[in-house]
Amino acid sequence: MKSSFHTDHTLIIDELEKSIKFHNLNYILGFLPKGSYLVGGYIRDIILGREPEKVDVDIVVPLNAIEIGKKIAENIGSKFIILDEKREVVRIILNHIYIDIANQVSSTIEGDLCSRDFSINSIAFLFDKKCLFDPLNGLKDLEISLIRTHSENNLLNDPLRILRCFRFVSELNFKIDLKLVDFIKKNKGKLYHVAKERINYEIHKIVNGKNALEAVILVKKFNIFGSDNFYKNSFFLDLEKINYPEFNQEEKEKFLPSFFIAQILDVVFLEKLKFSKAEIAKTKLLRKWHFLLETKNIAQLTESDRFTLHKELEMFLPSFIFYLPQNLRLDWLHRWRDNDDKLFHPSNLLNGEVIKKNLKIKNGPIIGHLLHYLSKELAYKRLNNFDEAIYKAKRWIEQNAPKCD
């Protein structure tokens, strides 16, 4: 598929039919009743020439979505899930493809499309007539890269859609309609009525998009997750002044999301929104070392403190780079990229089993303390080989092992 914007209906339909055939979706068309149509992100992405990693297909049928979904799943040997029994919304999972089938909720297709979140997701492809139906001018909004809603009530019906605006800024590099901006500012508090897991999911989408920086700046600007004073804390940086080109693409994808999450949510919010223990622990460590360096110059850190910093932050140090003085960032990044730098990547020449065997000592906390000491000696280049490590270990044991009377 060409990575270009399609405005000609014939071209869009041609690309749609090619994609449907490519993903073997044509096998399910025979099970769909007359009046069924395709809608949502699948069409939007084809028009934009995007190829998302996960293929999400939204199909609307006049009636009996559950029955139709079951029949399709049985015939193509796929997983079948009922998402909403009352409203009849089902999901079929076939390899990497997610097919959601729902009943039409309005008496007309136009009525259904008018109830969707944004105009760019309200373009339908009518299977029977093989034509596009775009009553809300979604094609025009795609062309001018605009996120606009037909009705604010559509967002109030599911306030998570407020957060989706920022996801489309992040993923599509779209701008938000000014009327929608005013609505978001007035109604951001309604997000608290949404399930925590759903908010968590959207935040991860926002921070992982290609234009995450712009989206995160807006989230902070509109104070989506806090009061007007929320970002007064010195931990929250002015993102517009930060320079990211120092990172290569792999580093951006791996480390910027954690940095962005820590820049829009504090630890209390992370816990409320059910973030993983690992993500919460990461943010706690970022905050710990940031505030320590607020009171103490890096050059004033003891050897032991500096070693502990690298030991605790090693796996995600690039997420911490922006809290450092500007003149240190590039040097720290270069050193972190060097896997042989033993300060930035603490390691050891010995392990617990070798120590027990050679020094004739038993399991206990002393082994952990000894390994920490040897790793620090290696980091500061006071240790070069196995024999030196054994010698230093023996000396350390003599000085630090508990004495027996």
Domain end: 243, 278, 313, which one?
A: 278
Asked if residue 14 and residue 138 are part of one domain, the reply reads yes
Which residues in 238-265 are b (16+ Cβ under 10 Å) and which e?
A: ebeeeeeeebeeebbeebbbbbbbbbbb
CA distance 218 to 220: 5
pLDDT the model gives residue 400: 86
CA distances from residue 78 to 36, 261, 318, 363 in whole angstroms, order as listed: 21, 35, 41, 52
Report if residue 46 sits inside a domain: yes
Give the tens place of pLDDT for each residue, 138-193.
999 999 999 999 999 999 999 999 999 999 999 999 999 999 999 999 999 999 99
Q: What is the mean pLDDT of residues 374-384?
A: 96
User: Whole-number mean pLDDT of the chain?
Assistant: 93
Is residue 360 very low, low, confident or very high in pLDDT (cuts 50, 70, 90)?
Answer: confident
Does 367 have pLDDT greater than 80?
yes
Rounded percentage of the chain residues whose pLDDT exceeds 90? 86
Domain end: 143, 164, 184, which one?
A: 143
Domain containing 379 equals 352-400
Q: What is the mean pLDDT of residues 383-392?
A: 94
Asked if residue 179 and residue 271 are part of one domain, the reply reads yes
Does 3 have pLDDT greater than 70?
no
Domain end: 143, 172, 190, which one?
A: 143
Report if residue 324 sits inside a domain: no
Read off the CATH number of the domain in which 233 is found: 1.10.3090.10
Report if residue 332 sits inside a domain: no
pLDDT the model gives residue 405: 47
Q: Count of domains in the chain?
A: 3
Give the tens place of pLDDT for each residue, 85-124.
999 999 999 888 999 999 999 999 999 999 999 999 999 9
Report if residue 291 sits inside a domain: no
Q: What is the mean pLDDT of residues 45-67?
A: 93
pLDDT the model gives residue 185: 95
Does 60 have pLDDT greater than 80?
yes
Q: Nearest Cα to 103, choosing from 62, 57, 59?
A: 62
Report if residue 337 sits inside a domain: no
Asked if residue 368 and residue 269 are part of one domain, the reply reads no
Asked if residue 181 and residue 134 are part of one domain, the reply reads no
Asked if residue 176 and residue 139 are part of one domain, the reply reads no
Which is it for strands 55-61 and 97-103: parallel, antiparallel or unpaired?
Answer: parallel
Does 403 have pLDDT greater than 80?
no
Asked if residue 159 and residue 135 are part of one domain, the reply reads no
Q: Could you identify the residue written with the tokens 């957060």?
A: 163
Q: 259 with 253: CB under 8 angstroms?
A: no
Read off the CATH number of the domain in which 108 is found: 3.30.460.10
pLDDT the model gives residue 404: 53
Asked if residue 103 and residue 137 are part of one domain, the reply reads yes
pLDDT the model gives residue 7: 63
Task: Kindly give the residue spans of alpha helices, DSSP state H, lying in 188-264.
Answer: 196-208, 212-221, 249-264
Asked if residue 158 and residue 87 are part of one domain, the reply reads no
Asked if residue 139 and residue 156 are part of one domain, the reply reads no
Is residue 1 very low, low, confident or very high in pLDDT (cuts 50, 70, 90)?
Answer: very low
Q: How many CB atoms lie within 10 A of CB 284?
A: 13
Report if residue 298 sits inside a domain: no
Q: Nearest Cα to 162, choosing from 179, 181, 175?
A: 181
Sign of CA dihedral 240, 243, 245, 249: negative
pLDDT the model gives residue 352: 87
CA distance 61 to 103: 5
pLDDT the model gives residue 6: 55
Report if residue 79 sits inside a domain: yes
Report if residue 125 sits inside a domain: yes
Asked if residue 139 and residue 158 are part of one domain, the reply reads no
Asked if residue 160 and residue 89 are part of one domain, the reply reads no
Give the tens place of pLDDT for each residue, 207-240.
999 999 999 999 999 999 987 788 989 999 999 9
Asked if residue 138 and residue 38 are part of one domain, the reply reads yes
Give the tens place of pLDDT for each residue, 251-266.
999 999 999 999 999 9
Rounded percentage of the chain residues whose pLDDT exceeds 70? 97
